[in-house]
Amino acid sequence: MPGYLRATVTVLLGLLMLAGAVSAGNYMDLQDEIQEFTLDNGIHFMVLERHDVPVFSFRTYVNVGSVNEVTGITGIAHILEHMAFKGTDYIATTGYKKERKAMEAEDNAFYALRDELNKGHDADPAVLEQLRADFEAAKDVAREFVVSNEFGQLVENNGGNGMNASTGADATNYFYNMPSNRLELWAYLEGTRMSKPVFREFYTEKDGPVTEERRMRTDNSPFGMLMEQFLNMAFSAHPYHHSTIGYMSDIESISRQDCIDFYDKWYIGNNFTVAVVGDVELKEVKRLAKKYFSDVPGPGKLPVIETVEPVQKGEKRIVVMDDTQPIIMAGYHKGGMSHPDDAVYDAIADIAGQGRTSRLHTKLVKEDKLCVAAGCFSGFPGNKYPNLMLVYAIPSKDVSTAEVEAALYAEFDKLVADGVTEEELAGVKKRTKANFIRSLGGNQGMAGQLCAYQALTGDWRDMFKTVEKIEAVTVEDVKRVAAEIFVTSNRTVAIVETEEEE
């Protein structure tokens, strides 16, 4: 595509945020406009036609995240997300048959190196040096067949915009925006990379960008480091206990075959949800979906997480000394997305710690100036299973963590004892409705909401009950639920204390 045309398309894609504006009076009518179908392999599609601008957005939602990992392969869902951009047997290669043989040699070199490393102190240094050299040489040979970033270039050269992906505790998402006259190209690219991925440059990506991301987000980040320690303590049994990025030793030892096995287990049709929103027609989306997405394996039986986090019997606490600014983190166990009080949890988080009018910000930041930041939110690290109400605070200069911690608990004690006012709750309801309506206006946001509700609740229509549920919350509900969760024995605390220089 010529440069001037690509620039024009980019401008049009920027109008996505303006397309499909939804007013407070008609947002419920959207339910009648959403159409759906399911392929024989189990992939569920949702389509919302919006013909304001000649563009569309999509979301491919795979119902698998770090919660589905086990000891030894933590971080693999995130690695697999990276691999989805590496192309297929036709895209990003100069000759797949020869490349496949080179990748097999690369795998064998990795296995030999890993076996020697696993000997620990008994590993032979000379042998390790040779095996490392052999592994690097094998990677170099495999890379000779790679056309770097060809998948991304195909998207960009055809007017694509915003290509990205995300991996969380509960799910993996893939998304970008395209001109509507490139719908078939999108279906081909997305369908083939989900059905016939080639995990090329696996070790290069794993030992490079993925490892660096681990260092930046956790090892070299005081907040990330504390968060990992916090999760390890807060969940003793449930797999929410490890972070999405995974442990470094697992990242280093995961093989390409491990990733293939994880893909084969979880990337099956009935674990996919796809939403297409924008200037498209249902009939054409359905035709192209059958043509290009039918090769995704499935349907199949999916493993079920049966482990339930046991009731916490006492406060858990860790204090980490580090040469950085103090940080306080506290978590209270609560129910998941399907819990009857889910909307009450959201109301509590909003009133207590979201925004500049929240209680924590007003009292600790504005009035008493104990903190530079303080707040809380519901649903950490995920929403699919029982999770945490997360509270955080960063003390002001020369204010101790003990003083801030006491002030945090005082606010929650007040919430339990006195409840909230009708005015505070009315504000939550007004903000929730406004935010929900706003989220439906953008094509990408709408696609994401449809997929999340369909996958997590079994029916995308549940998203339209958001306002109804928050409207039903009473001040009595807030006081009751606050008393249930804000209990010392239900609390996990992680603190960074500034390590004084010698």
pLDDT tens figures, 330-351: 999 999 999 999 999 999 999 9
Summarize the confidence of residues 2-12 as an average pLDDT: 38
Average pLDDT estimate for 344-371: 96
Query: What pLDDT was estimated at residue 8?
Result: 37
Per the prediction, the chain carries an average pLDDT of 93
Q: Which of 95, 125, 93, 131 is nearest to 112 (CA)?
A: 131
Residue 502: the pLDDT is 56
Whether the predicted pLDDT of 220 surpasses 60: yes
pLDDT of residue 481: 98
CB atoms under 10 Å from CB of 202, counted, come to: 27
- 58-93+146-273: CATH homologous superfamily? Metalloenzyme, LuxS/M16 peptidase-like (3.30.830.10)
What confidence category does residue 501 fall into, taking pLDDT thresholds of 50, 70 and 90? low
d(C-alpha 166, C-alpha 66), whole Å: 12
pLDDT band at 50 (very low <50, low <70, confident <90, very high): very high
CA 188, CA 192: separation in Å to the nearest integer? 6
* CA dihedral (321, 322, 326, 327) positive or negative: negative
Report the top-level CATH class of 316-498.
alpha beta
CA distance readout (Å), 387 to 17, 333, 339? 32, 6, 11
Residues of the chain with pLDDT > 70: what percent? Answer: 94
Rounded CA-CA distance 430/413 in Å is 26
pLDDT attached to residue 41: 98
Q: Using 50, 70 and 90 to split pLDDT, how confident is the model at 433?
A: very high
Intervals of CATH 3.30.830.10 along the chain: 58-93+146-273, 316-498
Q: How far is CA 350 from CA 368, 389, 415, 424, 477, in A?
A: 20, 11, 13, 9, 14
pLDDT at 499 (0 to 100):
82
Whether the per-residue pLDDT at 4 is higher than 50: the answer is no
Q: How many CA atoms lie within 13 A of 127 on its CB side?
A: 14
With 50 as the cut, is the pLDDT of residue 453 above it?
yes
Q: Is the pLDDT of residue 456 over 70?
A: yes
